[in-house]
Chain A
Amino acid sequence: MATEATDPKSAEGMNRRLRDHRQRTLALRRLRRHKAAVVGGCILVISVLSALFAPLLAPYDPIAMELSATLSPPSVNHFLGTDSFGRDILSRIIFGARVSLFIGLTSVGWAALVGVPLGLVAGYFGGMMGNFLMRIVDALLSFPPILLAIAISASMGGGQATVIFALGMIYVPVFARLMRGSTLSLREEVFVMAAESYGAPSATIILRHILPNLVGIIIVQATIGFSSAIISEATLSFLGLGVPPPLPSWGRDLNDARGYLRDAWWLVMVPAMTIVVNVLGINFLGDGLRDALDPRMRTRG
């Protein structure tokens, strides 16, 4: 029964695919018209490319120390200068993109993988179980996010996996609550009731009828989460709770720079601007995606 509806040969399936295609094109067109989002997307693409091809792009080994050239200002040899150990800042920034983007993506990714099903189930089935799940979500949301991340990663002891787990714990409840709210309102829609009335199993209704309608807000929320995960990762690294040295990380490079505020401006400015530009870019993209994927929100932009 349910397979018929998506059978590409049936008329309904054709219509549906056409409609989906049209919606996607419309959303893409809206996104392309959003100038800030295009700029943000370009920034993100540049960061992703430099993370992927870091070994090819970086002029130096990011952890190789050149003790004859410590704290040298930007020059032809070192475009963005060197730090107190004589390490090339540009190379550290390029390799640092790997850490920041990887942790940002994986933490939001696992948060979505856990939070989305939780919210869908809690919203669709409701009842005691759903309520209890939501109380756990409320409890997780009773801590300022960065405090929760600090407490978890400090308690578990550093390391990349810990940071990813700790940051993900911030966003699991966010995804769960968002999904539950949206599922609750979609449950009342006619197409869901129709599917229920012809006896489609709950799993089919959730996966075929509810989830596809929520893809837009999941993408938007993931983008917002991604930019805040990058901030949080930098904060944890800045506090010494992030990835262990000598892995280059934007946040820890900033912490290293604290001792040289008077003498070496590039040590502060380069990582600071890298973080700000990246977060700003992702936020631009997020605003654009929200406008493109959720037309109801456009007047509120």
Chain B
Amino acid sequence: MLSYIARRLVQLPLLLILASIIVFSLMHLAPGDPVPLMLGDYADPEAQAALRHELGLDRPLPVQYLSWLWKAAHGDLGLSVANRQDVLGEIIARLPNTLVLAVLAMAWAVAIAIPIGIVSAVKQNSWIDYLSMSFALGGVSIPSFVLALLLVFVLAVHLRLLPISGGPAVTKDPLGAIRYLILPAIALGAQASGVIARMLRSCMVEVLHQDYILTARGKGVANLRIYWRHALKNAFIPTMTVMGINFAYMLGGSVVIEQIFSLPGIGGYLMQAVLGRDFPVIQGISLCVALVFIFMNLGTDILYSYLDPRIRYD
């Protein structure tokens, strides 16, 4: 296990560098000069030259990359082209909103998925299994933005139960913000909930067919205790990896959800930047989300190797 962790840590710098190269090359994916894209075709040539110089576009590519990376490593993600604000500052101000949204989404996803997964594994091939798995497949199949619109349509517009959009920042008014986050969290969590339920069910089914469960039954251990102590604990380990990945996906999914509900998170910020081709912001957000994603993956994998020492990695 230690050697596995060591190998992962050794690979980490290379992974970070490659991910940063992907983020850096975003600005150069479109053919030609990115400056007119950002400022408009008829922008003042001096302003264009100034921006070109600020972004280092007047220098060779490798130099550009290295200086961009050097600045990013020191917390300088540049200034937004649209409003001249510090990109990192803006991201840090908005990140808590997105994280709270993702945590809420994950909390309800897990709260639904775990009972569903356990019950359908225990009652395999019964009507309740089919019902719960259809429900889970429905969750997997409904895109978050479609669910969001349907929820707004039914709960907010027609029944007027919950607010449709907006809301305060969680750091300013946590309790007030929660009300605005209920619908977005449900929409964002549905897909993960389906994935987790399916995963947990298939792991539980596999575990329940193993010999040590038979032994436990033979010893006369009560059913509930078998499911809880013997089966769930083992089935939960792979499920946890899926939860980690899905939490990171939610950071990506927040882009659409925050857009629909006009929430003040990094997803909405990214959309503003996308529409205005604000490359420093697009790059800054992609880089930050990739960092969160990489360290979350590393964390879940290390936890996994700790919880299940049998696991062998190639």
Contacts and interface: CB of A to CB of B under 8 A. Distances in A.
A280 B293 contact: no
B26 A151 contact: yes
Contacts of B234: none
Nearest to B251: A144
Contacts of A262: 157
A142 B206 contact: no
Interface in B129-187: 137-138, 140-143, 145-146, 149-150, 152-153, 157
Given A154-B282, A156-B29, A280-B138, A239 B256 contact: yes
A161 B30 CA distance: 12
B269 interface: no
A272 B146 contact: yes
- The interface centre, meaning the residue of B29, B146, B248, B294 with most chain A CB atoms within 10 A of its CB, is B146
Nearest to A180: B314
B282 A280 contact: no
Contacts, number: 138
A279 B144 CA distance: 13
Interface residues of A, number: 48
Contacts of A152: 26, 29
B61 interface: no
Q: Is the interface of A mostly helix, strand, loop or mixed?
A: helix
A144 B153 contact: no
A155 interface: yes
A287 B141 CA distance: 12
Contacts of A148: 252, 286
Nearest to B199: A300
B236 interface: no
B149 A261 contact: yes
Interface of B: 11, 14-15, 18-19, 21-22, 26-27, 29-30, 37, 137-138, 140-143, 145-146, 149-150, 152-153, 157, 202-203, 205-206, 209, 248-253, 255-256, 259-260, 270-271, 274-275, 277, 279, 282, 286, 289-290, 293-294, 297, 314
Interface of A: 135-136, 138-140, 142-148, 150-152, 154-157, 181, 184, 227, 231, 234-235, 238-241, 254, 257-258, 261-262, 265, 268-269, 272, 275-276, 279-280, 283-284, 287, 299-301
